[in-house]
Chain A
Amino acid sequence: MGKELRFDGRVAIVTGAGQGLGRSHGLLLASRGAKVVVNDLGGSTSGEGKSSESADLVVEEIKRAGGEAVANYDSVEDGDAIVRTAMDTWGRVDIVINNAGILRDKSFKNMTDADWDIIFRVHNYGAYKVTKAAWPIMTGQGYGRVLFTTSSAGIYGNFGQTNYGSAKLSLVGFANTLSLEGQRKNVLVNTIAPFAASRLTEGLLPPAVFDSLKPEYVSPLVAYLCNEENETTGGVFEVGGGFYSSLRWERTKGKVFRIGREVSPEALRGSWKQINDFGETEHVGSLMESLGPIVQNVEAGPSKGGNEFIDVDAALGAKYPERTSSYDERDLALYALGVGAATDPNDDEGLRLVYEGYGGGMKALPTYAVIPGTNAILGFAKEGITAPGLNYGFDRVLHGEQYIELTRPLPLTATLTTKGAVKDIWDKGKGALVVTTLDSYDEEGDLLIKSEMTAFIRGAGGWGGDRGPSADINVPPSREPDEVVEDSIPENQALLYRLSGDWNPLHADPGMAKAFGFERPILHGLCTFGYAGRRVLEKFAPEGNPDFFKSIKVRFADNVYPGDTLITEMWKESDQRIVFQCKVRERDSVVISNAAIELFEELPKPKEKPAAPADAPAAAEPTSADVIAAIDQFLSQNPAIAEKAQTVFQLKLSDPESLWTIDLKAGTAGAGETAKPDVTLQLSEQNYVALQKGEADPLKLFSGGKLKVGGDMMSVNKLEALGEMPFDLVLEKAAARASGASSDAPVAPPVVRDPFAPKLFEALAKRLEEQPSLADEVGAVLQFYVKDPDSKWVVDLKNHPPALKSGETDGATTILTIADADLAELSGAETTPQSLHQRGKLRVDGDVEPAHRLNFLKGLI
């Protein structure tokens, strides 16, 4: 509690102190040493009449209790006179409690000017006059406490109280500013919204409620706020009936229109939900904070503009969701074939790009690096994911430019995370350019591919924005090219290239191509890009080794049709930089311009795998193959499982893909489809192993869409029988695989855990010796049948002294059957007896009720 809050030597003015709240405030302050001016006009609740009686009674009451008080009978409108009473009597004023008030409740329809005026005169003008007269005294002495009394009728509204509500809430505004002006002079100003039974509310409330809303519940808050210990100022408090609470403003994050963007009533209608969204809010405590968003918006400067297709402010810097993808030798080979590699299968340069068994080692064609990023963007388009502020359809998009750069040669397999973001937006008049970065990181999080895709958005420009850089780069020199290569592009090349991921029907569907205004399906720009990139590397990379590739930049200038003859012209500008362009012989048009490839000066080292710990042959990560091998062995050792289940499960795993059959009819498990499945399960390799390990929850995987079940779903739970298989068996298979041993090698029996029950009951026996009263809490003879490994225990917590023995009894009141491992869980903090019972892991016979009190088993060990 600390020391008592006292008011010794302080002089307090309490207006309207003859009855109710004011009287209660005055009595409390006086009882704690304050000298109190008890002001009361002695009028009726509606402000009529005048008498000295009520103030005198309170003064007498204070004096009788040994306090000091003086009466004042002036109206608060004559605040000077009230303050003068304090000065004349004691020569100072420390505390002003503006409490006096009257009511003139009328519906607004029936409100008269007189009703309105008198309410404002008493509540607003009266509080002003008293405070105004005391203010110079308090600021002069460098100490003061001012309290205003507002009302929830003003804060929230109350039928019939337009006059009262508005006058009362005006005091909050008054106090807000006054608290700022008084703060430096140690004059603190607070406001309360009390709800108490008083003359003003008498008759409105039933007697029982009236009693529990005593003013005595309000006055302690007033005393605290007016004490010198209090440091709060500018506060508003709701109080009454034992409830104390602080009130503040809250506002929504709202909607900001950047300066220069058109704001129309329709735009506000469109943003109405956002303007009123209280899901994310802020609490504004000052005028400066209030202006914060406005100042920020002004400082952010004019909008970068935009139109119905593009909102530059919203889109610039926007990030796309991360995408994970992986590729292997097959993907690289398919891509290389897609860009015309290995048309001569006897040519080593082509063959090593498409054949994983190539003698000198397969090489990745580095322009494949464009695929993860473009597939991510195409995936977004397909799923309808757009960056905020980019509101155009895919039909407006033309691939304008492409840049990729590698930090090291592409590995033959990789799992990559691609992060996309909008980097630049340029207004090209008729259209717009949107530059998107799509960088891909390897599994260790290191950057492997930097990619920049520039899209030309037809008809989406013209908002008067920045046109962006316009100087041409990678302009071919005027001399004849140093190298020229011709490629006849086969008629079916687009159909082959699209298998690497660009599904756009424009490249395959004759009808769709016509709809886009082409005579037939056109070749992918990125296919041409791959042709050209491959040719430049053949001619200029040292020994034609594609691993020297560092970067490529191209501009797509015109379309290529399958069947065209592509001419790639190359100029060596330095050992590391080759400028090139591509033309189509048939139409003599430039199709790729402003293009260059950079080469590494030295071959970057391939990334080293983190070294495995030297002494860890057991670190072989188990795979689905190990799990299936373990299941196969387990099923052959436990034929009853299959006999009971009679169901065939097929597993379709992904990342990497594999297909397995767990045949719980024949009692076997193996690769491929060995029997017609009743149930199919689709999930990732990683999740399957985690599931078998017990680290993943099947229901969560299922509800999260990561586990798909086909066929007879209700039979899925028959797989549960495999939960009995010890995971050690899988680890053994994995270790055997890693060490190259035959997986048929004999397997060590699973590790047996020490039985828990003997330890637990030994500890319990000890506890019972120390604390025989434990028996009184249970009052039953418990027979425990513990399983796996089996043991039997009698715990007599009924007779005195309590007893515990191994074995059985006829006199048990409650029989408990539980597995040793579950007993261990119960004795720990993990579970409750009720939960174990509900899960069928604690079987209770006889009297059930004592089983509710098994918690004495907790914390013994």
Chain B
Amino acid sequence: MGRKVNVIGVGMVPFAKPGQSEDYNVMAAKAIKAALADGGVEYGEVEQAVAGYVFGDSTCGQRAVYDVGLTGIPVYNVNNNCSTGSSALMLAKQMVEGGIVECALAVGFEQMQKGALAGAWNDRPNPLGLHVNVMNDAQGFTSAPPAAQMFGGAGREYRWRYGTKRETFAKVNAKARQHAAKNPYALFRDPLTVEEILASPEVFDPLTRYQCCPPTCGAAAAIVCSDDFAKKKGISNPVYIAAQAMRTDYASSFGDSMIKMVGVDMAKNAAQAVYDESGIGPEDVDVVELHDCFTTNEVLTYEALGLCAEGEAEKFIEEGDNTYGGKFVTNPSGGLLSKGHPLGATGLAQCTELVWHLRGQADDRQVQDARIALQHNLGLGGAAVVTMYRRD
């Protein structure tokens, strides 16, 4: 074990639809400046920076931080698909944890294009090729967006196994919209009823359009530091990372199960590692930001993180254990479904939201007396990063 790592500054920009955002470097610089101001840190004090994004040519990270300062520090560009943001955070955390730096910056940003995700490099093996093979064997390949086929297919398998109602999945976004209504940073803030969600065009049964996260542009950043550095800044009780783990695919991803193919075992193992390292179990968690790229994945993730027992997600949802007044509040920000999902920024936006809750700064959507927060960020291809934050 290395040193304790604190998150003393967070910041993000309101998320926007493709074509309606500022350029990535502008968004990223705003998020970085917000995080620096939040922590009372000068950019000159940042010793190394990790920048996460998926779409863009090489060294966009430098271009983004150059708008904040030209101090010559090392900048690493990270791409881990949809878990890019938390991967950047993890590297920055490890720098502090290992005693390499006192203060590091993690920033994530994405300037996405309209439409479903698409690959740019079609002359070489697709990194998701193994995953697609599993899907092709299980259910073939259709004209629906590939990610919807993957997570929708996992939903089909889950429904078949547990007889889950279509409404149950729709309820997840109805809840997300309720949460997002109170989040000025979220993209979709109008509430939706379960009926409206079910009535939206079918994308890939059981997913309808309102159960898929939209392409989004945005940026978020976090400043991590050692105890000494926090002390120097006069921060007495900072939010800190109690445990963090990343897991990549196991052999089980490439068997015959769509549920496993979309990374449930990565999430399970990462969560278990975090629970083991922190000594804190899921029952002690107050607030959760988890990777609801599709409603079906939020359902799967409840079970993967141990928020409820296997096969009991429907009951968990019906009893309101995923929102205010229940056992946990999941995705108070509105999640990827309603806040939006700028791939590189998502992991750091989740971090930002949770830090605000632990500090009691989440305004109307504040989870009361939140002390322990859990974050789950998933990228197909794949990597699952689970992080536990705490404020004493």
Given the complex, which residues of A lie within 8 Å of B119, measured CB to CB? 713-714
Chain A residue numbers with a CB within 8 Å of B140 are 839
Q: Does B156 contact A720, Cβ atoms closer than 8 Å?
A: no
B291 to chain A, nearest CB (A): 22
Residue numbers in B under 8 Å from A721 (CB-CB):
143
| Distance A713 CA – B119 CA, assembled complex (angstroms) | 7
With A699-B141, A718-B143, A837-B160: A713-B118 Cβ-Cβ less than 8 Å:
yes
B382 to chain A, nearest CB (A): 18
Q: With A699-B141, A717-B141 as given contacts, are A849 and B163 in contact (CB-CB < 8 Å)?
A: yes
- A834 interfacial contact with B, CB 8 Å: yes
Q: A511 CA to B136 CA in the complex, in Å? A: 52
For chain B, residues 123 to 169, give those with C-beta under 8 angstroms from any C-beta of chain A: 123, 126, 129, 133, 136, 138-143, 146, 153, 156-157, 159-160, 162-164, 166
Q: Is the CB of B159 within 8 A of A848?
A: yes
Q: How far is the CB of B203 from chain A (nearest CB, A)?
A: 11
Please report which residues of chain A, range 420-447, place their CB below 8 angstroms from some CB of chain B when the two chains form the complex.
Answer: none
B126 to chain A, nearest CB (A): 8
Indicate the member of A699, A712, A838, A844 with the most B CB atoms within 10 Å: A838
Question: With A837-B160, A848-B163 in contact, is A720–B142 under 8 Å at CB?
Answer: yes
- CB of A321 within 8 Å of the partner chain: no
Q: Are A840 and B118 in contact (CB under 8 A)?
A: no
Set of chain B residues within 8 Å of A838, measured between Cβ atoms: 138-139, 153, 156-157, 160, 258
Which chain B residues lie closer than 8 Å to A308 at the CB level? Answer: none
A711 to B119, CA, bound (A): 10
Instruction: Give Cα distance in the complex from A848 to B311, angstroms.
Output: 14
Decide if A834 touches B160 in the complex (CB within 8 Å).
Answer: yes
Q: Which residues of B contact A709 (CB under 8 A)?
A: 122
Once bound together, how far apart are the Cα atoms of A490 and B141, in whole Å? Answer: 58
Interface check B116, CB cutoff 8 A: yes
Question: B195: CB under 8 A from chain A?
Answer: no
A852 to B166, CA, bound (A): 17
Interface: A843 (CB within 8 A): yes
Is B284 on the interface with A (CB-CB < 8 A)?
A: no
Q: Are A837 and B156 in contact (CB under 8 A)?
A: yes
Residue pair B142, A840 in contact (C-beta under 8 Å) = yes
Among B123, B139, B166, the most chain A Cβ lie within 10 Å of the Cβ of: B139
Query: Which B residue's beta carbon lies closest to that of A700?
Result: B136
Given A709-B122, A838-B153, A838-B157: A717 and B143 interface contact (C-beta under 8 Å): yes
> What residue in chain B is nearest A848 (Cβ atoms)?
B163
Contact residues in B for A835 (Cβ distance below 8 Å): 138
**CB <8 Å contact, A840 and B163:** no
0/1 string, B175-210, CB within 8 A of A gives 1: 000000000000000000000000000001100000
Distance in angstroms between the alpha carbons of A845 and B163 in the assembled complex: 9
Contact of B122 among A710, A843, A848 (CB under 8 A): A710
Name the CB-closest residue of A to B118: A714
Which B residues are CB-close (under 8 A) to A714?
116-119, 146
**A829-861: which have CB < 8 Å to B?**
834-835, 837-840, 843-845, 847-849, 851-852
With A699-B136, A718-B143, A838-B153 known as contacts, the answer to whether A713 contacts B122 (CB < 8 A) is yes
A849–B118 CA distance with the chains assembled, in angstroms: 36
Distance between B191 CB and nearest chain A CB, rounded to angstroms:
25
Task: Report the nearest A residue to B125, measured CB to CB.
Answer: A703
- Checking A703, A839, A844 against B159 with a beta-carbon cut-off of 8 angstroms, the contacting residue is A844
In whole angstroms, what is the CA distance A711 to B143 when docked?
A: 17
Which of B160, B162, B205: most chain A Cβ within 10 A?
A: B160
Distance to closest chain A CB from B24 (angstroms)? 22
Total residues of chain B contacting the partner, CB 8 A: 29
User: How long is the Cα–Cα vector from A717 to B136 in the complex, in angstroms?
Assistant: 13
**Number of A-B contacts defined by CB within 8 Å:** 59
- Are A720 and B122 interface neighbours, CB within 8 A? no
Name the residue of chain B whose CB is nearest to the CB of A709. B122
- Select from chain B the residue with minimum beta-carbon distance to A720: B143
| CB-defined contacts of A703 to chain B, threshold 8 Å | 129
Cα A699 to Cα B116 in complex, Å, equals: 21
| Alpha-carbon distance A102/B392, docked complex (angstroms) | 67
Q: Mark A712-726, 1 if CB is under 8 A from B, else 0.
A: 111101101100000
- B116's nearest neighbour on chain A, judged by CB, is A714
Let me know if A712 and B205 touch, CB within 8 A: no
Q: How far is it, in angstroms, between the C-alpha of A847 and the C-alpha of B162 when the chains are bound?
A: 10
CB proximity of B389 to chain A, nearest CB, Å: 36
Chain B's closest residue to A697 (CB) is B136
Interface residues of A in 510-532 (CB under 8 A from B): none
Interface 1/0 per residue, B79-119 and A, CB below 8 Å: 00000000000000000000000000000000000001111
Complex CA distance for A837 and B152, rounded to whole angstroms: 12
A residues in contact with B162, CB < 8 Å: 848
Q: Collect the chain A residues with CB atoms within 8 Å of residue B205's CB.
A: 840, 843
Which residues does chain B contribute within 8 Å of A849, judged by CB atoms? 163
Residues of B within 8 A of A699 (CB): 133, 136, 141
Please name the residue on chain A nearest to B115 by beta carbon: A714
Residue of A nearest to B157 (CB): A838
Q: Which of A333-363 contact B (CB under 8 A)?
A: none
A638 to chain B, nearest CB (A): 15
Chain A residue numbers with a CB within 8 Å of B139 are: 838-840
Provide the bound-state CA to CA distance between A852 and B160, in Å. 8
Across-interface contacts of B136 in A (CB, < 8 A): 699
Chain A residues closer than 8 Å to B156, beta-carbon distance: 837-838, 840
Whole-angstrom distance between the Cβ of B293 and the nearest chain A Cβ? 17
Bound CA span A711–B123, Å: 9
Complex interface: chain A residues within 8 A of B133 (CB)? 699
Interface 0/1 of B242-258, CB less than 8 Å to A: 00000000000000001
Interface residues in B56-74 by Cβ distance below 8 A to A read none
- The answer on a CB contact under 8 Å between B160 and A848 is yes
A484 to B101, CA, bound (A): 90
Most A CB contacts (10 A, CB to CB) among B118, B133, B143, B159 go to B143
Complex Cα–Cα for A711 and B122 (A): 7
The answer to whether B160 touches A840, judged by C-beta atoms less than 8 angstroms apart, is: no
When distances are taken between beta carbons in the complex, the residues of chain A under 8 Å from B146 are 714
Please name all residues of chain B whose beta carbon is closer than 8 Å to the beta carbon of A720 when the two chains form the complex.
Answer: 142-143
A649 to chain B, nearest CB (A): 13
Whole-angstrom CA separation of A840 from B160 in the bound complex: 12
List which B329-376 residues lie within 8 A (CB) of chain A: none
Q: Which residue of B lies closest to A834 (CB)?
A: B160
A148 and B141 alpha carbons, distance in the complex (Å): 62
Q: Is the CB of A840 within 8 A of B204?
A: yes
Q: Min CB distance, A240 to chain B, in Å?
A: 32
Assembled-state Cα–Cα distance A663/B68 (Å): 48
Question: In the assembled complex, which residues on chain A have CB atoms less than 8 Å from the CB atom of B153?
Answer: 838
Most buried by A among B122, B136, B162, B258: B122
Chain A residues, Cβ within 8 Å of B142: 717, 720, 840
The CA of A715 and the CA of B136, in the complex, are separated in Å by: 16
Among B133, B153, B163, chain A packs the most CB atoms within 10 A around the CB of B163
Measured in the bound complex, the distance between the Cα atoms of B119 and A376 in whole Å is 37
What is the CB-to-nearest-CB distance from A602 to chain B, in angstroms, rounded to a whole number? 55
Question: Nearest CB to that of A851 among chain B residues?
Answer: B160
Q: Which A-chain residue is minimally distant from B143 (CB atoms)?
A: A717
Q: Distance in Å from the Cβ of A715 to the closest Cβ of chain B?
A: 8
Alpha-carbon distance between A699 and B163 when the two chains are bound, in angstroms: 32
CA distance A710 to B123 in the complex (A): 7
C-alpha spacing A561/B133, complex, angstroms: 56
List, in ascending order, chain B residues with CB within 8 A of A847's CB.
163
Listed by A's residue number, 28 A-B pairs whose Cβ atoms lie within 8 Å are A699-B133, A699-B136, A699-B141, A710-B122, A712-B118, A712-B122, A713-B119, A713-B122, A713-B126, A714-B116, A714-B119, A714-B146, A715-B118, A717-B142, A718-B143, A720-B142, A834-B160, A837-B156, A838-B139, A838-B153, A838-B156, A839-B139, A839-B140, A840-B142, A840-B156, A844-B159, A848-B159, A848-B163
**5 nearest A-B residue pairs (beta carbon):** A848-B163, A714-B118, A713-B122, A717-B143, A838-B139
**Known pairs A712-B118, A840-B204. 14 more at Cβ < 8 A?**
A699-B133, A699-B141, A703-B129, A714-B146, A717-B141, A717-B142, A718-B143, A720-B143, A835-B138, A838-B139, A839-B139, A840-B142, A848-B162, A848-B164
